[in-house]
Amino acid sequence: MSQNSFIQASTPSTRQRPFEQLRLKMDDILGDGGILKEVVHPGEGPPVPQRASVIMRYSAYLEYSDEPFETTTRVKYPRIMKLGRDVTLMGLELALLTMRKGEFSRFLLKPQYAYGDMGCPPFIPAAATVLYQVEILDYLDSGLVDDFVAMDEEEQKLVNLANLLQVVTNLRHFGNRFFHQHRYDDAKDRYKQALRLLENRLSQSKSDKETIKAALLPLYLNLSLTELRLQSPLKALQHGNKALKIDSTNTKALFRCGQAYLELQEYESAQDCLIAAQARKPFDSDINDLLRKVAICHKDCLDKEKDMYSKMFSSLRKIKM
């Protein structure tokens, strides 16, 4: 179904207007008729929480218009939008709070929930009802992060570990989203913020320390891969080694270190890491392919060294003669 398939070949002279036809299939989500909703494709999980950050595609239409006056459907990676800051249209924010991840819905917003009696010239006429078609790709409960970051250090120390871990998880999810959008510097910032919160946590309990280590491991792995994407193999190696201190047999950590050593042209160390990873996952194509690449690079390096020394000794012999 196309994004604008709702639009009929209607004109003002048609007996029933397009938005009137839509209203027949919609639910009144507030009870005052100001925001009507039709779920086209249901989502999963809990609804979008207040103060969340959402990743969505949407298009906004005026009645009788085949083209949206605003759309994000042409953007490959929609930006993360925070409710109340980036999403400022009251009706759209209230509409989003009724949606779930993966949901695609349509909303009719009366003027009091959209652009008001004045409209927004020259694009939005006065007292216009508007249609929003919205697909929620993902959302992150950034309200928890905002509350935690706003605390001073003493207050943060009093927050129980479960809540801290939820904040860390949300930050890591932010980082993952940025990473998949190839925004590696932004991803790195989120991972390091989460890392600092965990590393600054003072805990006397052995079980808490183990829990924190388990939360640190994916952050070190993510940072290692991000630094590789940023062409910083030495930093990638540092994070990979920190991951190995937590779990010395972790295949991803061994693979990341192997990648970093390869970039640093330390081929024997790269082989050691990758052989250890291969022992854990002997049929992993990524590990085996990288091992072959390292072997080729190592051989080329040795051949160049051999050639260089051969020429050097040849020159010395000529000088002695």
The two beta strands, 53-62 and 130-140, are: antiparallel
CB 52 within 8 A of CB 141: yes
Which residues are within 8 A (CB) of 274 and not within 5 positions of it... i.e. 6 or more apart?
A: 254, 255, 258, 287, 290, 291, 294
pLDDT at 304: 74
DSSP-assigned letters across all residues of 38-81: EEEE--EEEEPPTT-EEEEEEEEEETT-SS-SEE-TT-SSPPPE
Long-range CB pairs of 297-306, under 8 A, 24+ apart, other chains included: 297/262, 297/265, 297/267, 298/267, 298/268, 298/271, 301/265, 301/267
Interior CA angle at 313 toward 311 and 319, to 5°?
105
pLDDT at 8: 45
pLDDT per residue as tens digits for the range 198-245? 988 866 688 899 999 999 999 999 999 999 999 999 999 999 999 999
Least confident span in 25-34, 141-150, 281-290: 141-150
pLDDT band, residue 305 (cuts 50/70/90): low
pLDDT band, residue 107 (cuts 50/70/90): very high
CB 289 within 8 A of CB 281: no
Interior CA angle at 195 toward 192 and 197, to 5°?
115
pLDDT at 253: 98
E strand intervals along the chain: 27-28, 35-41, 44-47, 53-62, 70-71, 81-82, 100-101, 104-109, 130-140
Instruction: Read off the pLDDT of each residue in 251-263 and give the average, rounded to a whole number.
Output: 97
Between CA 176 and CA 77 the distance in angstroms is 13
DSSP helix/strand/coil, 191: helix
Between CA 65 and CA 63 the distance in angstroms is 5
Q: Other C-beta atoms within 10 Å of 135: how many?
A: 21
- Tell me the β-bridge partners of 59: 71, 133
Handedness of CA 179, 183, 169, 58 (dihedral sign): negative
Please state the pTM of the whole predicted model. Answer: 0.74
Between CA 173 and CA 171 the distance in angstroms is 5
User: Using the 8-state DSSP alphabet, how is residue 86 labeled?
Assistant: T
Helices 251-263 and 285-320 meet at what angle, rounded to 10? Answer: 30
Looking at per-residue confidence, does 305 or 60 come out higher? 60
pLDDT at 76: 86
Question: Do you find a cis peptide bond into 49, omega within 30 degrees of 0?
Answer: no
The whole-chain average pLDDT of the chain stands at 89
